[in-house]
Amino acid sequence: MQLALAPMEGLVDEIHRDVLTRVGGVDWCVTEFIRVNGQLLPAHVFRRLAPELADGSVTRAGTPLRVQLLGSDPESLAENAAFACRLGAPVIDLNFGCPAKTVNQSRGGAVLLKEPELLHRILLAVRASVPAHIPVTAKMRLGYENTDNALDCAKALAEGGAAQLVVHARTKTDGYNPPAHWEWVARIQDVVAVPVYANGEIWNVADWQRCRAICGARNYMLGRGLVAMPDLAAQIHAAAAGREIVPLTWCEVLPMVRDFWQQQRSRYPSRFAPGRLKQWLVWLARNYPEAAALFAAARTVADCEVLDRLLGIEDAHQAQNAKGIETG
């Protein structure tokens, strides 16, 4: 069984990938999508969204990273995929699942599920453009407004050369509203000869167990569930192996939040960093009341030094220094 970390535009960047993959249990992860619009993108665009390219295309924990492209022009996607491989991408992933209105209006993401023949041409072009040893994978939803094309789209992608498919088990119209229709993952696996990953509405081990029972998937992609419960992948691996599940406590999660925040402060201007911290606290609040309380205190705060104090970073540093003195 493999568990992958899904990209989340505007939140799961290289910093979040770093923090979450160090918890353990994530077998591979994907960049935020790199939008391709008819031209060869410069190297700095790839390196900005995938700085791990400079470090063997793995996170600090050693978790492999895939470079995800989004677009609708086969030739342009192929050209950019080949360039990404020259920059060090070990796998090219293609996004046919993004439901964002602005993305779909520019013929990207889930809107292409209306055109299975175009999906096939894109996969053929990208597969032909990259070295044979580099896999091309794809993520799809069940359709745009309905599931009428779901099986045709899956076959188009697989027959075009996709080595794996991640299926977000909802349509674009469904958005992120529950439920996820996991039974469709099984239907898709029946018509393609490549591994299919189940994605959508896996928030905890019980959800994973239900998903597995319904669709029989062997592999899964975790998105919001892993952001809200940083050790979800580790818990699922433990459950699959019959080991005792020992969830992380807030005292164990808080140092991750501090690490995330300090990296965000060094990476982004002070006017942007607080927003990313608050986004993560909102997700963590699903499972940790302490995160909800922290978000309530931080909600209107824009001053980074005040946020430092709310996170107890100065206290943590003082405690660490005191410990060093005691043991020195």
Q: Which residues pair with 198 in a beta bridge?
A: 167, 220
* Per-residue pLDDT tens over the stretch 74-125: 999 999 999 999 999 999 999 999 998 888 888 899 999 999 999 999 999 9
- What gap in Å lies between CA 112 and CA 143, rounded to an integer? 9
- What gap in Å lies between CA 328 and CA 320, rounded to an integer? 12
- Structural domains present in the chain: 3-240 (3.20.20.70), 250-327 (no CATH)
Where the chain has pLDDT below 50, the residues are 317-327
Tracing tokens 């060093």 back to the chain, one arrives at 324
pLDDT at residue 252, rounded to an integer = 98
Kindly report the pTM of this predicted structure.
0.93
Backbone φ and ψ of 103, nearest 5°: -70, -45
Per-residue b or e along 64-94, where b marks 16 or more CB atoms closer than 10 Å to that residue's CB: bbbbbbbbbbbebbbbbbbbbbeebbbbbbb
Asked if 148 and 136 count as a contact pair (C-beta separation under 8 A), the reply is no
- What gap in Å lies between CA 254 and CA 56, rounded to an integer? 29
pLDDT at residue 314, rounded to an integer = 72
pLDDT at residue 316, rounded to an integer = 53
pLDDT at residue 163, rounded to an integer = 98
Asked if 291 and 285 count as a contact pair (C-beta separation under 8 A), the reply is yes
- What gap in Å lies between CA 249 and CA 288, rounded to an integer? 8
Q: If you ran DSSP here, which 8-state letter would residue 269 be given?
A: -
pLDDT at residue 269, rounded to an integer = 85
* Per-residue pLDDT tens over the stretch 123-163: 999 999 999 999 999 999 999 999 999 999 999 999 999 99
pLDDT at residue 315, rounded to an integer = 58
pLDDT at residue 234, rounded to an integer = 98
Active-site residue, from 29, 85, 98, 153: 98
98 a catalytic residue: yes
- What gap in Å lies between CA 217 and CA 251, rounded to an integer? 34
Which pairs count as long-range contacts for 286-294, CB under 8 Å and 24+ apart, including other chains? 286/203, 286/228, 286/229, 287/228, 287/229, 288/250, 288/253, 290/250, 290/254, 291/250, 291/253, 291/257
pLDDT at residue 106, rounded to an integer = 81
